[in-house]
Each structure stands twice: as C-alpha cells, then as structure tokens.
Amino acid sequence: MSISQIAHAGLIAVFIGDICKVYNKERKVIGEIKVKGGLYQVYLSGSNDEAHAASTNKMFSINELHRCLGHVSHERARLLIRKGLVKGVELEANSKVIVCESCEWAKGLRKEVMKV
C-alpha cells in the first residue's frame, strides 16, 4: 500500500502495533491492514490481482531498483527481491552495482551524531 496515495486522497493512516488503520475524511475506519513479512499489504479474497502482477513482472537493473526503492542499499534491494517482498519485479541477472552519485553526495552532508 502507498502512504503517499492515502495522503493524496485526503485519508488518514494510523499505525498501531502490527495494524494500519485507514480513516476517511469523516474519521471513520475504512480499512485495517495487517503487517505481513514486514510490509503492510492488501489482499483481496478471490482476487486475481496477484496472478496478474506475477504475469507482468518488470525487469530492473540493481541500480534502477536501488533508486526506485528510495536509495536503499543494493544488498538490501536484492534481499527484498529474494524474499519475495517486492512483487512484479525481476532483477537483471548480470547487472553490476554502480556507485550512486546521489547517495555519495548525501553521505558527504551527514553530520556526526553527538556522543552523550
């Protein structure tokens, strides 16, 4: 599920324990989503959505996936694919990791955490 799409629709998402409750503009609960495998996923009983998504996998290089997932580490992106936590995506078998200039630039701006 996409929090940005929930917010764009003017809805409210509240996380309590392992459940995400979605409220409409009148503050009535319109959905409860339980966490599964570390992600909040919506499953529709009797739906063919998962089979449809599986038949339309998009091929990504490891670097494209790294950027699409918000610049998570390349190793973590591979792990998400291997564990089946990202659906509809396949990794190019021979794609090589290239240093991400955006990540390198951001690392240069990090400030040290003060020791207390």
Q: 97, 63 in Cβ contact below 8 A?
A: yes
Q: 59, 66 in Cβ contact below 8 A?
A: no
For residue 71, the one-letter residue type is H
pLDDT of residue 54: 45
For residue 9, the one-letter residue type is A
Residue 45 DSSP one-character state: T
Q: 10, 27 in Cβ contact below 8 A?
A: no
3-state secondary structure of 15: strand
Q: 11, 29 in Cβ contact below 8 A?
A: no
Neighbouring C-beta atoms of residue 88, cutoff 10 Å = 12
Q: 33, 22 in Cβ contact below 8 A?
A: yes
Q: Which residues in the chain land under pLDDT 70?
A: 1, 43-56
pLDDT of residue 43: 64
pLDDT of residue 23: 92
pLDDT of residue 52: 47
